[in-house]
Chain A
Amino acid sequence: GQQLNQSPQSMFIQEGEDVSMNCTSSSIFNTWLWYKQDPGEGPVLLIALYKAGELTSNGRLTAQFGITRKDSFLNISASIPSDVGIYFCAGSTITDSWGKLQFGAGTQVVVTP
Chain B
Amino acid sequence: DTEVTQTPKHLVMGMTNKKSLKCEQHMGHRAMYWYKQKAKKPPELMFVYSYEKLSINESVPSRFSPECPNSSLLNLHLHALQPEDSALYLCASSQDGDPLSEQYFGPGTRLTVT
Contact = CB atoms under 8 A, between A and B. Distances in A.
Interface of A: 30-31, 33, 35, 40-45, 48, 50, 86, 88, 90, 92-94, 96-101, 103-106, 108
Q: State which size class the interface on B falls in.
A: 20 to 34
Given A42-B107, A88-B42, A100 B56 contact: yes
Given A31-B99, A94-B99, A97-B99, A42 B90 contact: yes
Contact of B99 (A35, A42, A45, A98): A98
A92 B104 contact: no
B60 interface: no
A50 B100 contact: yes
Contacts of B43: 43, 88, 103
Contacts of A45: 2, 102-105
B94 interface: yes
A92 B45 contact: no
B98 to A, nearest CB: 7
Nearest to B58: A100
Contact of B105 (A30, A42, A99, A108): A42
Nearest to B56: A97
Nearest to A98: B97
Contacts of B56: 97-100
Nearest to B48: A99
